[in-house]
Amino acid sequence: MSKFYTLLNDHLFKKIFTEEKYLKVLLLNLFDVKTNNLKLLNPELIISNKNEKVGIVDLLLEIDNDIVILELQNLNEHNFKDRLLYYTSKIISNYGLKEGDNYQNLKSIKVYVILNYSLDNENIKSIVKLKYLNNKIFNNKLELKIFDLTKVNINNKKSKYYEIVNMFKTDDLKKLKQIISKEELKEILITMEKYNQEESEWKKMEDIYNMMMNEKVDYSAAYEDGINVGKREGIAIGKIEGISQGINQEKNNVVKNMLAKKS
């Protein structure tokens, strides 16, 4: 295959990290999260009536009794913060409490985001919590951790993120093999190479890549200036809805395969 797809590819990301041992490596390396008990949940958010918007997160997990959304975000879609609020509200209503539970038993909801564009902060990692204006914590049961890939210098060998971030950003397999020295990351790289060599998997990665690039073009066209914005937005929305349906279908397929494997 002419192109080597990295962990930035949505399909490959989910193929790799639906494997529990690899997921634990990712959480530890990027978010400093050590896990004892980890369970994959259905990432399609449950709706209570037909008029609600359906949402699908990349990965939905239960980690040591916390509910965790794990999201990979490549493009600045200009609605990302609002989408995260919607996701977390649905997760709270779906998984936070069981019938008859006391509200003090509400499970903690955590959102771990891997960004491939700059958001608001100059830091590699940001933590967002509910706070009063004096910075006193209002409630600890909702937390967002954002890891910004763009803030890491992929040539800085002294960075603690040097190897793991190159697995997202470097699409030269030969170079990656020279960079990766940690055994747990070597195993992930071998699996990445295997999927890149499988024609059917590579084709799915290529489809996701092409959809993402089309989405990038459409969004840039809609926001680049004020001329005919309404017309361009209409065209972009129509295309993006089709793209999103394709991505959601791919995510559904991953879930079905994952559940079949577990049964």
For Cα atoms 177, 194, 211, give the angle at the middle one, nearest 5 degrees: 100
Q: What tokens appear for 220 in the block?
A: 């840039």
User: In the prediction, which pLDDT does 248 show?
Assistant: 54
**pLDDT, tens digit, 9 for 90 and up, residues 81-124:** 888 888 888 888 888 888 888 988 888 999 999 999 888 777 89
SS3 of 49, please?
coil
Distance CA 225, CA 216 (A): 15
Q: How confident is the model at residue 211 (pLDDT cuts 50, 70, 90)?
A: confident
User: In the prediction, which pLDDT does 253 show?
Assistant: 59
205 burial via Cβ count (<10 Å: 0-12, 13-18, 19+): buried
Domain map (residue ranges) of the chain:
10-262
**pLDDT, tens digit, 9 for 90 and up, residues 220-243:** 444 334 433 344 444 444 444 454
User: In the prediction, which pLDDT does 91 show?
Assistant: 87
**pLDDT, tens digit, 9 for 90 and up, residues 141-194:** 999 999 999 999 999 999 999 999 999 999 999 999 999 999 999 999 999 999
Task: Considering only residues 120 and 12, tell me which one the structure prediction assigns the higher pLDDT.
Answer: 12
Instruction: Work out whether the CA dihedral 65, 37, 113, 14 comes out positive or negative.
Output: negative
CA 11 to chain centre: 11
Cβ atoms of 10 and 204 within 8 Å: the answer is no
